[in-house]
């Protein structure tokens, strides 16, 4: 039976206390915190991070399909999944697709991936769901939303959880929505959203699905309900016949917020991290209707090497301020830097640099083994010409050998930290250090690679790699 063979999650390093947001506006203060993507992150970079987590221990060349699910993709016309596929270094002859327009995008993508595996057109399909949604400042959604991504690999063998049943229920309703021309998510009056939307549709869809299968809520170890907040979840789960206190998976609302289309996959990943063989899970996602899946955990879960990703990402964090958040999201107007205009991006240059700049390949001399970045035709050690193999750096760790903090460079998060990094196995690069506390950077500090935004010009978002302290 096809199902999930691996999973990956990515929560940004920074957190924003809801109490700090409330204090800034002099309003009510909700408990907990939410994730905040750094200024150099977006939906695509987070999807890549989750995909890399999901692929740990697996060759990217084994992927037969890649679907990106989101309501906040960086490009409206240009396939974002192709860009992610290049960064993740999967084969070029696979199916790629962007799936958007609904908070059910993540589960819709999983359903399509499952159909592909069942039909035999693909063996392994990687689904990456990611979102960076904006609520209006001093509004409830600003407090509720969090940024993040999750990835699931759908395959036919060595599955850690089979997907036994899939059902969908669509419902036309203006409860939560965002026009294509606007940045901020809107919603109707709260009571209408709650009573005509989530707490009406979810129980009805769950009861209908279980009735068709001849199953009852007591047969499930956990109900994994994706919900806007814990109150909605508890009400809907109880109406569907589940005990909110003992049968519902942790909604993660207090530690990350609501992750949009990535929330349901992230919750499932967290549930799988604690699941035991033989347990049944009911996976429920809401948005313009409801998706419901029945899963059975297999014995392969015991051998899965990356079970505790959610816990690791949840505790790897640092606090940021509401003022920084406003600046990172361009929600306040600030004086532009007195610097020359940014050099326009070049499509031909980006095309030529896609292996070095996106997949992060250098070269390794076949004659003496010297590793260099970027790719060099002539080895700097033995001077051998055109005798090298491609060498990947994206999955390598390194150590800082020297660094500087530049307070004059233009940055939304000064100072700019630049370091020379020596990589395990050879090779050296000059790299920006991101997700860091400048006071804690030191020579010898271990770092890892992370894919980030670099600059935006002429409608082109240029991406490249930075390094960060190990998470």
* Mean per-residue pLDDT of the chain: 96
| Strands 65-69, 33-36: pairing kind | unpaired
Q: How many CA atoms lie within 13 A of 10 on its CB side?
A: 31
Helix axes 80-88 and 43-54, enclosed angle (nearest 10): 40
**In DSSP terms, which residues pair with 318 in a beta bridge?**
14
The pLDDT value recorded for residue 341 is: 79
- Burial track 2-22 (b if 16+ CB lie within 10 A, e otherwise): bbbbbbbbbbbbbbbbbebbb
C-alpha angle 273/275/276, rounded to 5°? 130
pLDDT tens digits for range 161-182: 999 999 999 999 999 999 999 9
Q: Which residues contact 13 (CB under 8 A, 6 or more apart)?
A: 38, 316, 317, 318, 435, 468, 471
User: φ and ψ at 365, to 5 degrees?
Assistant: -65, 130
Confidence at residue 338, expressed as pLDDT on a 0 to 100 scale: 79
Residue 423 belongs to what H/E stretch?
A: strand 416-423
Residue 336 has pLDDT above 90, yes or no: no
Distance CA 298, CA 203 (A): 27
Sign of dihedral through CA atoms 47, 68, 39, 399? positive
pTM of the model: 0.96
Q: What is the pLDDT of residue 122?
A: 96
Residues 6+ apart with CB under 8 A from 200: none
What is the SS3 assignment for 17? strand
CATH numbers and ranges of domains, the chain: 3-328 (3.40.47.10), 347-469 (no CATH)
What is the mean predicted confidence (pLDDT) over 405-429? Answer: 95
Report the distance separating Cα 251 and Cα 264, nearest Å: 9
Closest CA relative to residue 428, chosen from 389, 388, 450, 396: 396
Tokens for 179?
């026009």
In Å, how far are 60, 236, 325, 437 from 414, measured between CA atoms?
35, 45, 14, 11
Question: Distance between CA 267 and CA 278 in Å, rounded?
Answer: 19
Q: How high is the pLDDT of residue 305? A: 82
Closest CA to 470 of 426, 424, 429, 411: 424
- What is the C-alpha separation between 414 and 271, in angstroms, rounded? 38
Q: Where are the beta strands (DSSP E) in 220-359?
A: 222-225, 280-286, 289-297, 318-319
- With 90 as the cut, is the pLDDT of residue 273 above it? yes
- Return the pLDDT at 147: 98
pLDDT at 334 over 90: no
Q: What is the pLDDT of residue 308?
A: 87
Where do we find the tokens 């690069």? 429
The pLDDT assigned to 310 comes to 94
Identify the pLDDT of residue 168.
96
Whether the pLDDT of residue 113 is over 90: the answer is: yes
Largest Cα separation within the chain, whole Å, is 73
DSSP state letters, 65-129: EEEEE-SS-S-SSS-HHHHHHHHHT--TTSEEEEE-SSTTHHHHHHHHHHHHHHHTS-SEEEEEE
The predicted structure's pLDDT at residue 307: 83
**455-461 long-range contacts, Cβ below 8 Å, gap at least 24?**
455/342, 455/345, 457/342, 457/343, 457/344, 457/345, 458/344, 458/345, 460/345, 460/347, 460/350, 461/42, 461/44, 461/74, 461/75
pLDDT range class, residue 339, cuts 50, 70, 90: confident
* SS3 call for 415: coil
The pLDDT assigned to 403 comes to 98
pLDDT, tens only, 93-111: 999 999 999 999 999 999 9
Residues in the chain: 471
What is the enclosing helix (H) or strand (E) of 167? strand 161-170
């Amino acid at each position: 039976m096809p199902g999930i063979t691996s999973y990956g999650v990515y929560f940004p390093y920074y957190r924003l206390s809801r109490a700090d947001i409330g204090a800034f506006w002099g309003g009510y203060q909700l408990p907990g915190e939410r994730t905040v993507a750094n200024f150099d992150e977006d939906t695509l970079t987070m999807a890549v991070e989750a995909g890399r987590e999901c692929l740990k221990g697996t060759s990217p060349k084994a992927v037969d399909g890649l679907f990106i699910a989101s309501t906040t993709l960086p490009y409206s016309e240009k396939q974002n999944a192709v860009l992610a596929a290049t960064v993740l270094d999967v084969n070029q002859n696979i199916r790629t697709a962007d799936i958007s327009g609904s908070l059910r995008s993540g589960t819709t993508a999983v359903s399509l991936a499952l159909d592909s595996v069942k039909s035999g057109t693909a063996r392994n399909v990687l689904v990456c769901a990611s979102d960076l949604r904006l609520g209006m400042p001093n509004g409830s959604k600003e407090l509720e939303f969090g940024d993040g991504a999750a990835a699931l690999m759908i395959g036919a063998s060595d599955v850690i959880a089979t997907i036994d049943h899939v059902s969908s229920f669509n419902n036309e309703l203006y409860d939560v929505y965002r026009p294509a021309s606007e940045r901020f998510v809107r919603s109707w009056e709260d009571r209408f959203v709650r009573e005509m939307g989530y707490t009406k549709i979810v129980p009805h869809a769950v009861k209908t699905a279980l009735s068709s299968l001849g199953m009852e809520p007591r047969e499930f170890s956990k109900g994994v309900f994706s919900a806007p907040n814990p109150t909605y979840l508890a009400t809907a789960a109880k109406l569907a016949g589940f005990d909110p206190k003992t049968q519902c998976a942790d909604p993660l609302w207090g530690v990350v917020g609501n992750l949009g289309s990535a929330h349901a996959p992230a919750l499932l990943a967290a549930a799988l991290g604690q699941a035991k063989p033989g347990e049944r899970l009911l996976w429920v996602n809401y948005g313009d209707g409801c998706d419901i899946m029945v899963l059975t955990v297999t014995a392969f879960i015991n051998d899965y090497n990356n079970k505790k990703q959610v816990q690791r990402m949840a505790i790897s964090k640092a606090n940021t301020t509401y003022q920084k958040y406003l600046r990172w999201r361009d929600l306040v107007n600030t004086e532009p830097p007195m610097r020359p205009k940014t050099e326009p991006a070049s499509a031909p240059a980006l095309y030529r640099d896609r292996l070095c700049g996106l997949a992060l390949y250098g070269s390794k001399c076949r004659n003496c083994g010297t590793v260099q970045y970027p790719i060099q035709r002539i080895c700097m050690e033995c001077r051998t010409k055109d005798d090298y193999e491609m060498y990947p750096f994206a999955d390598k760790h390194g150590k800082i050998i020297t660094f500087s903090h530049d307070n004059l460079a233009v940055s939304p998060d000064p100072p700019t930290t630049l370091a020379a990094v020596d990589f395990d196995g050879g090779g050296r690069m000059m790299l920006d250090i991101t997700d860091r506390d400048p006071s804690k950077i030191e020579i010898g500090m271990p770092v890892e690679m992370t894919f980030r935004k670099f600059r935006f010009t002429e409608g082109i978002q240029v991406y490249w790699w930075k390094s960060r302290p190990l998470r």
